[in-house]
Amino acid sequence: MKRFIIAILLAMTLSVPIGVMAVYYGAGYVVFSFAEYTVETSFIFMMGLLAMSFFVFYYFLRVVSKIFHFPAYMSERHSCRQSERSKNALVKGLIEMSEGRFELAEKMLIKQVGSSDTSLLNYLMAARSAQQVAAYERRDEYLRLAHEATPSADIAIGLTQAELQLSHKQFEQALATLNHLSSVSPKHGYVKKLQARVYQQLEDWDNLGLILEDVRKMKAIEETQLEKYEVEAYYGMLKASIKQAKREKIDRIWKQIPKRLKLNSELIHIYCCFLLENNKAEEAEVLIRNQLSANWNDDLAILYSNLSVEDCTKQLETAETWLHGQSRNAVLLLVLGKLCLNCQLWGKARGYFDSSIGIQPSAEAYLKLAELLDNKMGEHEESQKMYQLGLLNAVDNQYENNQLILFKENKLSRPLLKVIQ
């Protein structure tokens, strides 16, 4: 339409000067002669005829061109409609998937995949939908088709496969997939992150410790989560080595632990338990004392009270300095009572045990007090009362723990819980 208007304006522009010339100089004439025929007409008419012939010829060529290109035009229109339907199917499939209708989403995503420009995305989303309805064979088939459709997207397809295998707890298969991806792209941070997660689930602590070095360099995991993984890895390595009684390996692992992690109470606790079992109480005492002075931990404090060191008086004096910040801590008072027993300070030990029980009764505090009263102070009747109270406390604690476990596992209904209580 725009070209037609321009042509009209051009024709009008040319006709004006021709018309002016015709008024002043006459219409003029044009003669055509061919064989025995002669045609004579005015110049104005001839110019109009030529202009009209030009427009007729131009639009004739346009019509002929449209006719010849009609099949290609129809094919293009068909492709556009197919593409539009494919996009609509993808959008609807993603909506159904987001709303939790996974079977319908899977059908929508696969319906137009053959004519879609986003076949890779269709197959990957269909695989995720199949995963949600436990159709694992269809899931794997969609991933295979995705690879055939877009071979260059090996990383994207492999990561999707690994994530789905992890979700299904197929850890060995996920590890194989991730190892392949790691060989293809050794510096891919997300691949390393998933590898760390798989090693954690498989409790392969040695490999977890190795992969975490790469993870830290790539900054693929948040620092807090990374430190949690590191603690878990070293704890697992120490625990496995202690179980296998590999003393040299245990010491080597402890030396490998970064200085910042040697302040972790869990790692200190398991290593000091090893030292205690191997008659290295003095070395364990130094580690625990330094840790408790900086960061209090009840489990380490109990372990500290079980150490048999040469200078028990100094050990007791060290523990009493912790009362400045933990004066109402029942565990510390219990520890002090046990240390007093080592130093044969019976009256002082009894005072600490009584204080611990007064703040928070515990079976161990009752037991230690009962043994003290029975064996060292000759108060047999009072000792029997402590034994009974300790037994009741232990039973109550066990009952509460079992009830809490049952509640967490949803094995008890709320009405039944009310009846029990």
Fold of the domain spanning 222-310: 1.25.40
Point out which residues pair with 40 in neighbouring strands.
Answer: 31
Q: 21-30, 58-67, 152-161: which has the highest mean pLDDT?
A: 152-161
27 band by pLDDT with thresholds 50, 70 and 90: low
Is pLDDT at 410 greater than 90 in this prediction? no
Is pLDDT at 63 greater than 90 in this prediction? no
Give percent of the chain with pLDDT exceeding 70. Answer: 84
418 band by pLDDT with thresholds 50, 70 and 90: very low
Q: What is the pLDDT of residue 414?
A: 44
What phi and psi values does residue 39 have, to the nearest 5 degrees?
-120, 130
What DSSP line would sit under 62-112, residue for residue? HHHHHHHTHHHHHHHHHHHHHHHHHHHHHHHHHHHHHTT-HHHHHHHHHHT
What are the pLDDT digits (tens) for 216-259?
989 888 999 999 999 999 999 999 999 888 888 999 999 999 99
Q: What is the pLDDT of residue 415?
A: 41
What DSSP line would sit under 149-208, residue for residue? H-GGGHHHHHHHHHHHHHHTT-HHHHHHHHHHHHHH-TT-HHHHHHHHHHHHHHT-HHHH
Distance of CA 209 to the CA centre of its chain: 19
Q: What is the pLDDT of residue 60?
A: 78
Q: What is the pLDDT of residue 285?
A: 93
What DSSP line would sit under 129-157, residue for residue? HHHHTT-HHHHHHHHHHHHHH-GGGHHHH
Q: What is the pLDDT of residue 148?
A: 85
pLDDT, mean of residues 111-135:
83
Q: What is the mean pLDDT of the chain?
A: 83
What are the pLDDT digits (tens) for 88-106?
777 888 888 888 888 888 8
Q: Where are the domains of the chain?
A: 2-51, 222-310
Q: 322-326, 328-332, 391-395: which has the highest mean pLDDT?
A: 328-332
22-26, 58-62, 295-299, 411-415: segment of lowest average pLDDT: 411-415
Assess contact for 169 and 134: CB atoms under 8 A.
no
What are the pLDDT digits (tens) for 248-294?
899 999 999 999 999 999 999 999 999 999 889 999 999 999 999 98
Q: Give the contacts of 32 (CB within 8 A, at least 6 positions apart).
A: 38, 39, 40
Assess contact for 112 and 89: CB atoms under 8 A.
yes
Q: What is the pLDDT of residue 72?
A: 66
Q: What is the pLDDT of residue 41?
A: 76
Q: What is the pLDDT of residue 417?
A: 34
C-alpha–C-alpha distance, residues 149 and 142, integer Å: 10
